[in-house]
Structure 1
């Protein structure tokens, strides 16, 4: 009698678990039939999949692939150099390598470094700024990037300040100030803000290389003046003469910290700067999109072992990018040593979101109570709400818990 009751209890428990499994899986399939989804257990077994080999637009979860290729190839401690020179005819030479972290604080630090050098090597009157942007090639238009003022549409370049954007605040009486205390208001910022309505605005400097360099020079000029160094806004843009004296090399943040910022803020500018840097280190200079695409594609094929994908650029802006959930899962498996660079959501998801019109994606790792990590990929087409991806993720999480608790 006791054995019969025990068997009945086990059968009931087994049926209820299977009933729940059928329920959460059915919810996903019924509500998101056009999606590509996969969840894998730590032992490599597939917990759930729906059209995992279907090619879809990944949107910003593609940044995980770019991050993986760059950090695996260059190393987490890699730093991007920007070199400073003094030319024979007394220009301050600046040779860029695409550092995406040259922000106002960096320029203030550079001004202090230059002051230290010039305190022991007083120059004659400086004549202006000599920019060498030859590290990057020309015509670096990113597919999917528009000419809007949105920060995610900012253009890439060898020498760029503050992600190629300006942040200002305009009062109702027309007064214009910098919206960042660390960033001085320059003449270019003032001029671009004149026609804007009251409020805070992020201005994209677009693909105007001259304007990009002018703004960089204006900012550095202000910081140098604070250190007692005067330099006019005369700008030259060509190769640094070989007869120039190298003053010092400014190094970027470590690559691991750059990637952490890339993934946390979904910065398209940083993603494609890194794509070009990857291309130049693997294929030689000058850096361009073709070399970047080729280097990333080869990494995905030769190192990760995926093929039959379409890669247009490295940020996820382009709708020409085409990957399946299974392919992105393979990226996550390789990215595992660096998963802590992804931000944690709800204490259970270490993941990256992606959003384009008609596209909503989510990929990363579910952090289970047992301490194991379950890689997952969600790619939705034409969802009713952007939050639908989190709904699917919550269902995957609940299903993962039931899988762990179910009797073998």
Structure 2
């Protein structure tokens, strides 16, 4: 999910937005006190519809595009619909289409496999020839899947496996075979100024640490000193150009981190106040397959395995003939059910893109994003989704070229709710007031713990779609898409939250 703002705004604007958010959130902490325009002698469902319409008709949204679709799963009844066939920028709501298709095609127990091969014999502790890492698109070689929280833990395990086979030296090269994917490293329609940041990490069949360097910046010991910059994983793959300074404790932090295009160099600029909390950011890397084997070699050498050759990456299918190689071992990922949970809970763009290309590799004619999109569309059309209500260009929703309708989202949610693997899909979604991107929304309201939904955000587009349990146990599917708004985004969040609270409170 794209980070909303990286440019410092005036203090006045931030204070006003914060006050607005607090005041609206105070109201949202209980059932919304919505004034009915037709009285309370109506049937409960009609009252609910009236209250929803009252919120959706907020005059502050007069110049925005608002689409809503709400349906009861029990009765198949449309509870409310507004602009349900209109097209909206999907933002990260696109992820539920990608993860649903992956679940339908592969099943919840699918696992990625990364093979480790050697090209010649092993004798006297020496691996003669090359060590080859054959990637399959596994996104899980990352800290979130490591028990220790260190993404290098997987490589330390690999080094131990090599040493257990008596290998203490590699005479040849370490080769990273990323040819399983033929996709471009960036998605169609992605913005150039997003490239340095984690949510725009490059796509590769060899992926490590989310294809990012995790950066922590701490103030120096006294004003005038440069701040301290630390990397995780610690590696020489990235260099640092640090011209930032530590300033007095009462100053404002204007620290800015970025990476020049096509370079693996971190730029640290502006100022960080003394005695203020550390600043953290994840910066994407160029050539992720090379990053993968670079850190692998560092870990091998740290573990006592000498590497005498060079580092090479392969991106062309068939360039390596595996007929003359031997497999040393295979690394197996967690099951797909855990990977789609990482996609949706945190709104992890890279993982969604990896899934899309994997779908293309396994069910399409080639391993490209366009072919993955074709397979997803074919799957959706089989559900009854209209071709003119769904436009897809990437797996994550980062591209502003993606378009969906509330009706299309509703069709997907309904289909998945009746599928045998629904529980895995349902469990992957953030829970209101509990975890993921909804952890701080709808807290201490009737909707807390009763809403499972996917958020979505790019500039001027804020979406929320999923499931909600009513007060008497009825399940509703909903999609609330808001585009082209000038109202503060926290106010759009509150509109969506209040609609969810209405549904969570509803009794027939």
Aligned to 1:276: 357
In 1, distance between residues paired with 2:168 and 2:320? Answer: 18
The Cα of 1:400 is off from its aligned counterpart by 3.0
Give the one of 241, 255, 262 matched to 2:343.
262
Q: Give the counterpart of 2:455 among 353, 366, 381.
A: 353
* Kept in 1: contact 2:159–2:299 (CA 8 A): no
TM-score, structure 2 as length reference: 0.70
The alignment covers a number of residue pairs equal to 387
Q: 1:392 aligns with which of 495, 500, 503?
A: 495
Is the Cα contact below 8 Å between 1:163 and 1:269 reproduced in 2? yes
1:398–1:114 Cα change, 3 Å: closer
* 1:35-61 residue CA offsets vs partner (Å, 9 max, x unmatched): 110111122101111111111111111
Which of 26, 29, 48 is the aligned partner of 2:57?
29
Alignment of 1:168-207 (within 5 A): 168-171=215-218, 172=220, 173-174=225-226, 177-180=229-232, 183=233, 185-191=234-240, 192=264, 195-197=267-269, 199-205=279-285
Instruction: Give unpaired runs (5+ residues) of structure 1.
Output: 1-11
Q: Which has the higher helix share?
A: 1
Q: Is the 8 A contact 1:304 1:334 kept in 2?
A: no
Note if contact 1:360-1:379 (Cα within 8 Å) is conserved in structure 2: yes
| Aligned equivalent of 2:312, options 227, 236, 246 | 236
Is contact 1:176-1:193 (8 Å) kept? no
Q: How does 1:4-403 map to 2 (within 5 A)?
A: 14-15=41-42, 21-31=49-59, 32=61, 34-42=65-73, 43-88=75-120, 89-103=128-142, 105=150, 107-122=152-167, 125-137=170-182, 139-147=184-192, 148-171=195-218, 172=220, 173-174=225-226, 177-180=229-232, 183=233, 185-191=234-240, 192=264, 195-197=267-269, 199-205=279-285, 208-209=286-287, 212-232=288-308, 234-238=310-314, 239-242=319-322, 243-285=324-366, 287-308=367-388, 309-336=390-417, 337=422, 338-345=425-432, 346-383=448-485, 384-400=487-503
Alpha-carbon distance between aligned partners in 1 of 2:49 and 2:412, rounded to the nearest angstrom: 27
Task: Summarize the Cα distance change of 1:343–1:23 in structure 2 as closer, same or farther, 3 Å threshold.
Answer: closer
CA displacement at 1:113 relative to structure 2: 3.7
TM-score by length of 1: 0.86
Structure 2 unmatched runs, 5+: 1-38, 121-127, 144-149, 241-263, 273-278, 433-447
- How far, CA to CA, are the matches of 2:212 and 2:309 in structure 1? 20
Distance 1:305 1:16 in 2: 32
Q: 1:125 to 1:81 in 2, by over 3 A?
A: closer
Secondary structure at 1:375 match in 2: strand
Q: Is the 8 A contact 1:168 1:189 kept in 2?
A: no
Q: Aligned-pair distance for 1:121?
A: 4.2
Q: Which residue of 2 aligns with 1:6?
A: none
Q: Secondary structure at the match of 1:188?
A: coil
